[in-house]
């Protein structure tokens, strides 16, 4: 079997697939998102929490796996101080099927590259989500640098407009770097940037840091935080989670 690789906990997916005939569970035990009022959001404060959001993978072929991403339970609270209103929503929050096709480097080599086509299905409860079908294509790639984990990704999205009908294009770009601290403990950092072609949309940039602990060849634990560096980005998003291969 290959070395354990996961698309979590950063936003930069890895280009490696799950071995054929095996399964992999990647999940947060829980996470929290906090947003304060600012120039982008106005006088609105929002908080949300997700419990056991996960990516369930199955290896289909040597270079192809299928993935199902979903959030069993999401809770959110939004307070508009100017309007004097408070909105609460909770429940199941959508499902995203994906495939990952490795094009090179799956079993060794200096460079690895994959394609990840995906579609978001509007199977959310209540007012969660936007009720629209969305999709896109992720292109993760990495370099084998001894002692370091270095990954990159570019992703194209076709997302529903925030106002009215129709879709618009968005692009994500990210770079992730990790290095072992001591023993089985590693420290990683990432810079993520989202650019939307929708009129009036602001740039979403974050700096993300986390620790991973390689418990054994099939289990990895992690915890960290995404930190927004632009007004349109979430202010804070801490999490704790795991990867388990079967």
Task: Catalogue all structural domains in the chain, each as residue range(s) with its CATH number.
Answer: 23-245 (2.40.160.40)
In percent, the amount of the chain with pLDDT more than 90 equals 91
- pLDDT, tens digit (0-9, with 9 covering 90-100), for 32-45: 999 999 988 889 99
What φ, ψ does residue 239 adopt, rounded to 5°?
Answer: -155, 165
- The pLDDT of 94-114, averaged and rounded, is 96
- The pLDDT of 134-145, averaged and rounded, is 97
- The first and second tokens of residue 105, run together, are 């480097």
pLDDT at 64: 98
User: Contact, 100 vs 20, CB < 8 A?
Assistant: no
User: Contact, 232 vs 206, CB < 8 A?
Assistant: no
- Neighbouring residues of 90: CB distance < 8 A, sequence distance ≥ 6: 73, 74, 75, 76, 125, 126, 128
State how far the Cα of 244 lies from the Cα of 72, in Å rounded to an integer: 18
Helix/strand/coil (H/E/C) assignment for every residue in the chain: CCCCCCCCCCCCCCCCCCCCCCEEEEEEEEEEEEECCECCCECEEEEEEEECCEEEEEEEECCEEEEEEECCEEEEEEEECCCCEEEEEEECEEEEEEEEEEEECCCCCCEEEEEEEEEEEEEECCCCCCCCCEEEEEEEEEEEECCEEEEEEEEEEEEECCCCCCEEEEEEEEEEEEEEEECCEEEEEEEEEEEECCCCCCCEEEEEEEEEEEEECCEEEEEEEEEECCCCCCCEEEEEEEEEEC
pLDDT at 181: 96
State how far the Cα of 49 lies from the Cα of 124, in Å rounded to an integer: 15
- The first and second tokens of residue 119, run together, are 């579609």
- The pLDDT of 57-77, averaged and rounded, is 97
pTM equals: 0.95
Instruction: Examine the pLDDT at 125 and tell me if it is beyond 90.
Output: no
């Amino acid at each position: 079997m290959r070395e354990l690789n996961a698309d979590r906990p950063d936003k930069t997916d890895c280009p490696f697939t799950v071995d054929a005939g095996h399964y992999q569970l990647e999940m947060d035990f829980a996470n929290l998102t906090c947003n304060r009022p600012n120039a982008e959001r106005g006088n609105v404060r929002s908080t949300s929490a997700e419990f056991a959001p996960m990516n369930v993978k199955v290896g289909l072929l040597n270079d192809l796996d299928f993935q199902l991403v979903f959030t069993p339970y999401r809770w959110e609270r939004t307070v508009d101080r100017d309007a004097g209103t408070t909105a609460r929503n909770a429940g199941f929050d959508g499902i995203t099927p994906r495939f990952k096709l490795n094009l090179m480097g799956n079993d060794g080599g200096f460079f690895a590259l994959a394609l990840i086509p995906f579609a978001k299905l509007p199977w959310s409860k209540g007012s969660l989500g936007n009720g629209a079908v969305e999709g896109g294509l992720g292109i993760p790639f990495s370099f084998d640098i001894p002692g370091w984990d270095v990954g990159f990704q570019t992703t194209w999205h076709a997302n529903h407009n925030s106002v009215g009908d129709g879709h618009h294009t968005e692009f994500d770009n990210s770079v992730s770097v990790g290095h072992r601290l001591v023993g089985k403990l590693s420290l990683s950092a990432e810079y993520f940037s989202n650019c939307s072609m929708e009129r009036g949309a602001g740039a979403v940039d974050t700096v993300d840091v986390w620790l991973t602990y390689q418990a054994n060849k099939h289990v990895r634990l992690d915890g960290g935080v995404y930190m927004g560096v632009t007004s349109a980005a979430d202010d804070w998003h801490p999490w704790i989670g795991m990867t388990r291969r079967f």
